[in-house]
Amino acid sequence: MKTIHSKILGELTQDNQFGDWWYSKPIEILWLGCKLKAVFIDFEPDHDKSFIVEADSALDHFLNLEADYKSQTNGLIYDHFREFSSMVGAGYVPDELKGIDKSEIWNFISPTQLLVSRRHRREQAVFINVTCECKWEEEHGLQLVFKKGKALTRVSTQDGHLTTADAYGITDSEDELLAKFEESGL
């Protein structure tokens, strides 16, 4: 079994079936209040020499987000929940979620893992995708995507896209959260 080494995660082990997937042991994410495995995906060490360095930088930023960063995401996640609820209709929203406010949204979310990958379009930065189970969308779940580990740049169902721009074929400047990241100069 092949392994690679990350300064942040330690040893990662190659998946037996998918040769470009590498798994870490669970790591503590203080601001999220949980331990999760990280998975480097779509990574071939011989073809992307700078990936581990860039992934370590993104993970360092992500793991050192401020303690209140989780509560700072409440509004964005709540907006996603409300948009989903309006699309499916009130009859499909679990009773326990009816009437909640944004400060309660994390009570209905369970992070499952971190997917660390390079965007294959445009600037090709490294993104961290926190995949989650959530009570309102049990089939497709929730993903919270962080560009370079520094800021939340996408809240959506788990669709495999790192940016809304990529998901909908729009420019990065039309992607509201991604554009804010660019404007902030992070």
Q: Phi/psi class of residue 169: alpha, beta or left (left: φ > 0; alpha: ψ in -120 to 50)?
A: left
pLDDT value of residue 184: 61
Alpha helices, DSSP H only, in the chain?
A: 51-63, 69-72, 74-88, 164-168, 176-184
- What is the tens place of the pLDDT at every residue in 27-68? 999 999 999 999 999 999 999 999 999 999 999 999 999 999
What is the Cα–Cα distance from 186 to 180, expressed in whole angstroms? Answer: 10
What is the Cα–Cα distance from 29 to 92, expressed in whole angstroms? Answer: 32
Instruction: Take residue 78 and report the two structure tokens written for it.
Output: 């709540």
pLDDT value of residue 89: 85
pLDDT value of residue 1: 76
What is the Cα–Cα distance from 156 to 162, expressed in whole angstroms? Answer: 10
Q: Which residue has the tokens 């979620």?
A: 97
Q: At residue 5, does pLDDT exceed 80?
A: yes
Nearest in space to 80 (alpha carbons), one of 50, 46, 105: 105
DSSP structure class, residue 89: -
**72: how many CB neighbours lie within 10 A of its CB?**
13
